[in-house]
Amino acid sequence: MTHENRGTDLDKLALAQFIDIDGRFNDELCNVFRSGITNKSKISSYGFLGTFLNCPVIVGFTEHPCSEGMRRVPHHVLTIMRFGLLPAAMCYDCACTPKLFVDKHFGSDNLKSTNFTAFLPPLPMALGRFHVKNHKRAMCKTIMRPDRECHNGLYNAINTQVPE
């Protein structure tokens, strides 16, 4: 075991008893069993979205078996909104995707315009600082960056690493 691979090798050893012959993790690894849902084209097909305050308090979460697509983020936000008000801004590792979805579909059958959803179009959205370097769209290099002047310092005191 070389020094550079030591952590990875130790992780594999620790999990060895939970890996089936086909190389997938078996259900004994976790107390939440998901063996009824499969998607052979993906290694992992489960999305998890959580809403955190900056302090880091978890406000709520939703699980998304088989996807974590662009519709799931507004769905998650609207689900959590049923329990009370949310902070006035959103930071997400791929915030450009829900921003594009809301901009394109708000007022359509895909995202109805109601009193309950009216906050979505003006909701400030930014990428998490850890993910900024991976995003190549023009909007990701400008308005989606949390430290851009267009956000007027809104994200300055926000620890965008909380949900990582």
CA distance 82 to 136: 34
Tokens encoding 64: 């998304």
- Is residue 135 predicted with pLDDT exceeding 50? yes
Indicate the pTM of the whole model. 0.66
pLDDT at 106 over 60: yes
| Candidate from 39-53, 69-83, 91-105 with smallest mean pLDDT | 39-53
pLDDT of 80: 87
- Please, what sign has the CA dihedral across residues 37, 42, 43, 48? negative
